[in-house]
């Protein structure tokens, strides 16, 4: 008999009941079946799994090298390698066990029309929600251009909303001037939730050969190195999202229960685990246990009660209420 999760870990995200606030992030667990091969791992330990980025047709991805370890982080430039949406819907989804956990699709495209076509395919499938990746930093077209422009972001979200009734989760880029304004525009366009943040754009250099380590020169930086940035972006998006009851998956460098709690306090409803899985595939069990321990100490009846409970200084709260900007020192 499998160990059952503490009922206080249950949350509702975009109207979907999750047994844990943990979401396994897109690109880190393939199409949902990879981690079932690891002894001791169970999909029941997570609330949802976000499938690998999917496009309208087959993509072979970027040239090698595609991964590079960096101080407190990792660069990746996979380039959205995937078999195309028809293969995912017809061949992969039928073998996933939707009784164990929830599954979110991840949609990417080079044009608004491609996003729409892929979303339409997933709409006619058992997938629980659709994540719109408008902020991929490791492809040459689409992606970053859409995610860093509020007008384009809203256009993509609105077009996708027109072809599906499933929850839409918009994955926001940290590589933009005003993430809160982008979030506001996406809410107006019909997003159901947010994933905050995607990776930052970065590079690494081989000094012996004087060449970029990543074959496509740049990639997406993830891991503990980006956690402070991710926390701030979750906090900023939450100031907009909370007014419309739009939930957030907080992600970026979470490697412990303490990290997860920080994101919840900053405004996340769910927490995304990605890079940490590469060196500790069993980390989800530890985070669940740590969350339960924290709730026991504080007499907290539900992990959802932690969302957005960060206590800000009076002057900061007043400034945010008035919409004024606080300069950093």
pLDDT at 323 over 70: no
Domain annotation covers residue 87: yes
**Catalytic position from the list 14, 28, 50, 136:** 136
pLDDT at 326: 47
pLDDT at 226 over 90: yes
pLDDT at 329: 37
Note if the pTM is more than 0.75: yes
Asked if 50 is an active-site residue, the reply is no
Task: Classify the C-alpha dihedral 89-246-112-275 as positive or negative.
Answer: negative
pLDDT at 321: 63
Higher-pLDDT residue of 175 and 269 is 269
pLDDT category of residue 259 using cuts at 50, 70 and 90: very high
Domain that holds residue 142: 7-322
pLDDT at 328: 43
Domain annotation covers residue 328: no
DSSP secondary-structure letter at 34? G
For the segment 16-69, what is each residue's pLDDT rounded down to a tens digit? 999 999 999 999 999 987 776 777 788 889 999 999 999 999 999 999 999 999
Chain mean position to CA 188: 20
Cα(235)–Cα(174) distance, rounded to whole angstroms?
Answer: 13
Domain annotation covers residue 329: no
Looking at the structure of the chain, the number of domains it has is 1
Domain annotation covers residue 69: yes
Higher-pLDDT residue of 148 and 294 is 294
pLDDT at 1 over 50: no
Longest distance between any two alpha carbons in the chain, whole Å: 57
Domain annotation covers residue 327: no
Between CA 118 and CA 124, with CA 119 as vertex, the angle to 5 degrees is: 100
Residues above pLDDT 70, as percent of the chain: 91
Higher-pLDDT residue of 315 and 225 is 225
The domain spanning residue 207 has which CATH number?
Answer: 3.20.20.70
Q: What is the mean pLDDT of residues 256-271?
A: 98
Residue 43 dihedral angles phi and psi, to the nearest 5°: -60, -20
For the segment 104-124, what is each residue's pLDDT rounded down to a tens digit? 999 999 889 999 999 999 999
Domain annotation covers residue 1: no
Q: What is the mean pLDDT of residues 178-196?
A: 97
Domain annotation covers residue 306: yes
Strands (E), the chain: 11-13, 16-18, 22-24, 48-54, 67-70, 73-76, 102-107, 129-133, 168-171, 193-196, 200-202, 205-206, 211-212, 219-222, 248-251, 270-273
Domain annotation covers residue 142: yes
pLDDT category of residue 145 using cuts at 50, 70 and 90: low
Residue 138 dihedral angles phi and psi, to the nearest 5°: -125, 25
Higher-pLDDT residue of 297 and 33 is 297
């Amino acid at each position: 008999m499998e160990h059952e999760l503490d009922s206080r870990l249950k949350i509702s995200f975009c109207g979907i009941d999750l047994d844990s606030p943990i979401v396994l992030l897109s690109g880190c667990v393939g199409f949902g079946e990879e981690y079932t091969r690891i002894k001791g791992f169970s999909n029941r330990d997570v609330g949802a799994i976000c499938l690998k980025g999917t496009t309208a047709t087959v993509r072979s991805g970027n040239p090698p090298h595609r991964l590079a370890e960096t101080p407190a982080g990792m660069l990746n430039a996979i380039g959205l390698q995937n078999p195309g949406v028809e293969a995912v819907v017809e061949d992969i989804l039928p073998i996933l066990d939707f009784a164990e956990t929830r599954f979110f699709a991840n949609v990417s495209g080079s044009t608004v029309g491609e996003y729409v076509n892929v979303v339409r395919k997933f709409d006619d499938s058992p997938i629980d929600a659709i994540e719109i990746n408008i902020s991929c930093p490791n492809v040459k077209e689409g992606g970053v251009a859409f995610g860093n422009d509020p007008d384009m972001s809203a256009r993509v979200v609105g077009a996708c909303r027109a072809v599906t009734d499933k929850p839409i989760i918009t994955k926001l880029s940290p590589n933009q001037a005003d993430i809160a304004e982008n979030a506001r525009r996406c809410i107006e366009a019909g997003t159901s939730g947010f994933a905050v943040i995607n990776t930052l754009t970065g590079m690494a250099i081989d000094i012996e050969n004087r060449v970029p380590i990543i074959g496509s020169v740049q990639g997406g930086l993830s891991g503990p190195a980006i956690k402070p940035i991710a926390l701030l972006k979750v906090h900023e998006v939450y100031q907009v999202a909370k007014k419309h009851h739009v939930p957030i998956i907080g992600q970026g460098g979470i490697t412990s229960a303490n990290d997860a709690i920080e994101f919840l306090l900053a405004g996340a409803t769910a927490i995304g685990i990605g890079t940490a899985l590469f060196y500790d595939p069993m980390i989800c069990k530890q985070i669940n246990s740590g969350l339960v321990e924290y709730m026991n100490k504080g007499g907290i009846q539900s992990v959802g009660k932690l969302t957005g409970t960060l206590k800000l200084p009076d002057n900061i709260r007043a400034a945010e209420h008035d919409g004024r900007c606080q300069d950093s020192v």
